């Protein structure tokens, strides 16, 4: 008589270490903003959107691997290159939106707010894809 064993499913999710590091930095910035405001009554709220967009922009640039993208563009441009190019462009837009959101630049325009909203939505989608959908 054969016993039926439970077959373990190899269901490992793969999150890139760079992406996890970027998420950690964003969490640290949010936590330090809360701590500074509540315990020391120091408000960095004017600079918080700058910090968030700069971290997201630099993170998108790191994940897009610009050197690999440049080398690939010389040889052949495939589907992976297109996703890297899209990530690179979103990273550049996030950095520009971060710089334009600084208090001393003080640009309040609907296009800037729309680009900030779009970048935030894209970031949420990237987090969902990187964390729950991509698997080994």
Tell whether the model's pLDDT for residue 136 goes beyond 60: no
Number of H helices, E strands in the chain: 5, 0
User: How far, in Å, CA of 101 to CA of 47, rounded?
Assistant: 8
98-115 pLDDT, tens digit per residue, is: 898 888 887 778 887 888
46-75 pLDDT, tens digit per residue, is: 888 888 889 888 888 888 888 888 888 778
User: How far, in Å, CA of 31 to CA of 49, rounded?
Assistant: 14
Q: What φ, ψ does residue 3 adopt, rounded to 5°?
A: -85, 140
- Assessment of whether the complete model's pTM goes beyond 0.85: no
């Amino acid at each position: 008589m054969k016993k039926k064993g439970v077959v373990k499913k190899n269901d490992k999710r793969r999150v890139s270490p760079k992406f996890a590091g970027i998420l950690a930095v964003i969490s640290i910035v949010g936590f330090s903003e809360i701590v500074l405001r509540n315990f020391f009554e120091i408000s960095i709220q004017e600079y918080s959107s700058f910090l968030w967009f700069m971290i997201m922009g630099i993170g998108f640039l790191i994940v897009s691997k610009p050197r690999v993208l440049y080398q690939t563009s010389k040889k052949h441009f495939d589907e992976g290159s297109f996703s890297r190019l899209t990530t690179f462009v979103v990273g550049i837009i996030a950095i520009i939106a971060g710089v334009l959101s600084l208090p001393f630049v003080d640009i309040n325009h609907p296009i800037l707010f729309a680009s900030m909203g779009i970048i935030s939505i894209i970031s949420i989608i990237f987090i969902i894809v990187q964390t729950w959908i991509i698997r080994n």
